[in-house]
Amino acid sequence: VEASIPEPQRAAWLKHQVGGFKDKDGFESEVVRHVETTLARSMFNCDESAAYSAAALAFRDRLILEWNRTQQRQTYADSKRVYYLSLEFLMGRALDNAMLNIGQKDVARAGLAELGFRIEDVIEQEHDAALGNGGLGRLAACFLDSLASLNYPAWGYGLRYRYGIFKQEIIDGYQVEVPDYWLDFNPWEFPRHDIAVDIQFYGNVVKSTDESGKTIATWEGGETVKAVAYDMPIPGYATSTTNNLRLWSSKAASGEFDFQKFNSGEYESSVADQQRAETISAVLYPNDNLDRGKELRLKQQYFWVAASLYDIIRRFKKSKRPWEEFPDQVAIQLNDTHPTLAIVELQRILTDLEGLEWDEAWNIVTNTFGYTNHTVLPEALEKWSVPLIQHLLPRHLQIIYDINLEFLQTVERQFPNDRDILGRVSIIEETQPKMIRMAHLAIVGSHKVNGVAELHSDLIKTTIFKDFVEVFGPDKFTNVTNGITPRRWLHQANPRLSGLIAAKTGGHEFLSDLTLLNKLELHVDDKAFRKEWAEIKYANKVRLAKHIKATNGVTVNPSSLFDVQVKRIHEYKRQQMNIFGAIHRYLSLKAMTPEERKKQQPRVSIFGGKAAPGYWMAKQIIHLINNVGAVVNNDKDIGDLLKVIFIEDYNVSKAEMIIPASDLSEHISTAGTEASGTSNMKFVLNGGLIIGTCDGANIEITREIGENNIFLFGNLAEDVEDLRHTHTYGKHTVDPDLARVFEAIESGTFGNQEDFAGMITAVREHGDYYLVSDDFRSYLETHALVDEAYRDQEGWITKCITSVARMGFFSSDRCINEYAEEIWNVEPLKVDDE
Ligand code: NBG
State which ligand 1 atom lies nearest to the alpha carbon of 377.
Answer: 8
Angle between helices 575-591 and 616-632 (to 10 degrees): 20
CA-to-CA distance for 695 and 361, rounded, in angstroms?
40
pLDDT at position 538 over 80: yes
Do 602 and 640 meet the contact criterion of CB atoms below 8 Å apart?
A: yes
CA-to-CA distance for 673 and 770, rounded, in angstroms?
9
Do 173 and 627 meet the contact criterion of CB atoms below 8 Å apart?
A: yes
The pLDDT assigned to 271 comes to 81
Taking the centre of ligand 1 as the mean of its atom positions, its distance from the CA of residue 673, in whole angstroms, is 10
The pLDDT assigned to 184 comes to 87
CA-to-CA distance for 799 and 791, rounded, in angstroms?
13
For 569-623, the pLDDT digits (tens) are: 999 999 999 999 999 999 999 999 999 999 999 999 999 999 999 999 999 999 9
Q: Which helix (H) or strand (E) holds 400?
A: helix 394-414
User: How far is C-alpha 336 from the chain's CA centre?
Assistant: 11
Q: How many residues does the chain have?
A: 834
For residue 143, how many other CB atoms are within 10 A of its CB? 26
Average pLDDT of span 379-391: 98
The fold for domain 557-806 equals Rossmann fold (3.40.50)
Do 442 and 404 meet the contact criterion of CB atoms below 8 Å apart?
A: no
Amino acid at the residue 206: V
Taking the centre of ligand 1 as the mean of its atom positions, its distance from the CA of residue 569, in whole angstroms, is 13
For 52-109, the pLDDT digits (tens) are: 999 999 999 999 999 999 999 999 999 999 999 999 999 999 999 999 999 999 999 9
Do 381 and 392 meet the contact criterion of CB atoms below 8 Å apart?
A: no
Mutation probe of ligand 1 site: the residue of 375, 438, 668, 683 with most atoms within 8 A of C-beta: 375
Buried b (16+ CB within 10 A) or exposed e, 687-726: bbbbbbbbbbbbbbbbebbeeebbbbbbbebeebeebeee
Give this prediction's pTM: 0.98
CA-to-CA distance for 11 and 21, rounded, in angstroms?
22
pLDDT at position 473 over 50: yes
User: How far is C-alpha 668 from the chain's CA centre?
Assistant: 19
Q: Collect all residues with Cβ–Cβ distance below 8 Å to 439 and sequence separation of at least 6.
A: 337, 340, 373, 381, 382, 464, 465
Do 561 and 786 meet the contact criterion of CB atoms below 8 Å apart?
A: yes
State which ligand 1 atom lies nearest to the alpha carbon of 288.
Answer: 15
- Residue of 499, 511, 567, 590 whose CA lies nearest to 539: 499
CA-to-CA distance for 128 and 701, rounded, in angstroms?
29
Mutation probe of ligand 1 site: the residue of 165, 289, 460 with most atoms within 8 A of C-beta: 289
Got the DSSP string for 772-807?
HHHHHHHHHHHHHHHHHHHHSHHHHHHHHHHHHHT-
Taking the centre of ligand 1 as the mean of its atom positions, its distance from the CA of residue 206, in whole angstroms, is 41
Phi, psi of 664 (to 5 degrees): -135, 135
CA-to-CA distance for 118 and 476, rounded, in angstroms?
53
The pLDDT assigned to 834 comes to 44
Domain boundaries, the chain: 18-77+99-119, 78-93+128-481, 557-806
CA-to-CA distance for 652 and 492, rounded, in angstroms?
12
Taking the centre of ligand 1 as the mean of its atom positions, its distance from the CA of residue 482, in whole angstroms, is 9
Band (688; pLDDT cuts 50, 70, 90): very high
The pLDDT assigned to 728 comes to 83
The pLDDT assigned to 256 comes to 57
Taking the centre of ligand 1 as the mean of its atom positions, its distance from the CA of residue 697, in whole angstroms, is 11
| DSSP state at residue 323 | G
Average pLDDT of span 793-809: 98
pLDDT at position 211 over 90: no
The fold for domain 78-93+128-481 equals Rossmann fold (3.40.50)
The pLDDT assigned to 1 comes to 45
Taking the centre of ligand 1 as the mean of its atom positions, its distance from the CA of residue 456, in whole angstroms, is 10
Angle between helices 757-764 and 736-746 (to 10 degrees): 150
The residue contributing the CA closest to ligand 1 atom 13 is: 136
State which ligand 1 atom lies nearest to the alpha carbon of 675.
Answer: 10
For 714-769, the pLDDT digits (tens) are: 999 999 999 999 998 877 889 999 999 999 999 999 999 999 999 999 999 999 99
CA-to-CA distance for 428 and 145, rounded, in angstroms?
37
Taking the centre of ligand 1 as the mean of its atom positions, its distance from the CA of residue 438, in whole angstroms, is 17
Average pLDDT of span 697-701: 98
Band (17; pLDDT cuts 50, 70, 90): confident
Taking the centre of ligand 1 as the mean of its atom positions, its distance from the CA of residue 266, in whole angstroms, is 48
The pLDDT assigned to 833 comes to 55
The pLDDT assigned to 258 comes to 65
Cα first-last separation, the chain: 27
The pLDDT assigned to 25 comes to 97
Looking at the DSSP bridge assignments, the partners of residue 168 are 177
CA-to-CA distance for 344 and 389, rounded, in angstroms?
12
The residue contributing the CA closest to ligand 1 atom 12 is: 677
State which ligand 1 atom lies nearest to the alpha carbon of 482.
Answer: 14
CA-to-CA distance for 604 and 416, rounded, in angstroms?
62
- Residue of 653, 664, 678 whose CA lies nearest to 484: 678
Residues with CB under 6 A from ligand 1: 134-136, 139, 288-289, 336, 374-375, 380, 452, 482, 674-678, 696
pLDDT at position 813 over 50: yes
Taking the centre of ligand 1 as the mean of its atom positions, its distance from the CA of residue 547, in whole angstroms, is 28
The pLDDT assigned to 4 comes to 87
CA-to-CA distance for 679 and 683, rounded, in angstroms?
6
pLDDT at position 263 over 90: no
Q: Which of 20-29, 610-619, 682-691 has the lowest mean pLDDT?
A: 20-29
Mutation probe of ligand 1 site: the residue of 90, 374, 377 with most atoms within 8 A of C-beta: 374
For 398-455, the pLDDT digits (tens) are: 999 999 999 999 999 999 999 899 999 999 999 999 999 999 999 999 999 999 999 9
For 324-369, the pLDDT digits (tens) are: 999 999 999 999 999 999 999 999 999 999 999 999 999 999 999 9
CA-to-CA distance for 730 and 733, rounded, in angstroms?
10
Share of the chain above pLDDT 70, in %: 99
State which ligand 1 atom lies nearest to the alpha carbon of 372.
Answer: 14
Q: Collect all residues with Cβ–Cβ distance below 8 Å to 315 and sequence separation of at least 6.
A: 81
The pLDDT assigned to 763 comes to 97
The pLDDT assigned to 273 comes to 83
Taking the centre of ligand 1 as the mean of its atom positions, its distance from the CA of residue 704, in whole angstroms, is 21
CA-to-CA distance for 822 and 443, rounded, in angstroms?
16
State which ligand 1 atom lies nearest to the alpha carbon of 336.
Answer: 8
Phi, psi of 326 (to 5 degrees): -50, -50
For 298-316, the pLDDT digits (tens) are: 999 999 999 999 999 999 9
Share the mean pLDDT of the chain: 96
| DSSP state at residue 810 | G
Question: Fold identical between 78-93+128-481 and 557-806?
Answer: yes
Q: Collect all residues with Cβ–Cβ distance below 8 Å to 550 and sequence separation of at least 6.
A: none
Q: Which helix (H) or strand (E) holds 505?
A: helix 495-505
The residue contributing the CA closest to ligand 1 atom 9 is: 374
State which ligand 1 atom lies nearest to the alpha carbon of 135.
Answer: 5
- Residue of 162, 784, 237 whose CA lies nearest to 492: 237
Helix, strand, coil percentages, rounded to 5, for the chain:
55, 15, 30
Average pLDDT of span 272-295: 94
Do 27 and 58 meet the contact criterion of CB atoms below 8 Å apart?
A: yes
State which ligand 1 atom lies nearest to the alpha carbon of 374.
Answer: 9
Amino acid at the residue 677: G
Mutation probe of ligand 1 site: the residue of 84, 136, 438, 818 with most atoms within 8 A of C-beta: 136
Mutation probe of ligand 1 site: the residue of 138, 452, 481, 812 with most atoms within 8 A of C-beta: 452
Which residues are part of the catalytic machinery? 374, 567-568, 573, 678, 682
pLDDT at position 255 over 70: no
